[in-house]
Amino acid sequence: MTQSLGLVSLVVRDYDEAIAFFVGVLGFELVEDSPVPEQGKRWVVVAPPGARESRLLLARASDEAQRSRIGAQTGGRVFLFLHTDDFDRDYERYLGRGIEFVRPPRVEPYGKVAVFRDVCGNLWDLIEPSATSREASRTRAGKRG
């Protein structure tokens, strides 16, 4: 059996604001932006550069309960983990584009990491996994397969 997560839904204030951030600032690819007229919404999907499976559905909050969750979908914990093949390149690029890093870079056994805040206030890890961490992931994946 094979399964994967197709999309992770991220509640946002505004579609265009979120697209400008994820595509214009982070450099994600706009995979789809289609109207859903019967609901007055749009189906907006973005993906990190080079991603094969991981994608975000940018879902505009449609009521007060959803608006109250913008930027706090995980109660203040890091929400998403953006893996990179070159931490220093992406860290410097994001700094230059005005990304707010709330925790500075550090080296951990699992890799080089820093925490940044997205346009809605969610916390993300920017992480370049260590060789040891990548190997452990492959080993775990092989044991599951």
Superfamily of domain 1-70: 2,3-Dihydroxybiphenyl 1,2-Dioxygenase, domain 1 (3.10.180.10)
Q: What pLDDT sits at residue 48? A: 96
Give the CA angle between residues 86, 88, 92 to the nearest 5°: 125
What is the CB neighbour count within 10 angstroms for residue 112? Answer: 18
Give the DSSP letter of residue 24.
I
HSE-up of residue 106 (Cα within 13 Å, Cβ side): 9
Distance between CA 56 and CA 46 in Å, rounded? 5
Read off the pLDDT band of 133 (50, 70, 90): low
Q: Give the SS3 label for residue 20.
A: helix
Mean pLDDT, residues 115-119: 97
pLDDT at 55 over 90: yes
The percent of residues above 90 in pLDDT, for the chain, comes to 76
pTM to 2 decimal places: 0.87
Q: Are 33 and 44 in contact (CB under 8 A)?
A: yes
Report pLDDT for 3: 83
Q: Which segments of the chain belong to CATH 3.10.180.10?
A: 1-70, 73-145
Please state, in angstroms and rounded to a whole number, the distance separating the CA atoms of residues 82 and 74.
16
Pick the CATH number of 73-145 from 3.40.30.10, 2.160.10.10, 3.10.180.10, 3.40.50.1370: 3.10.180.10
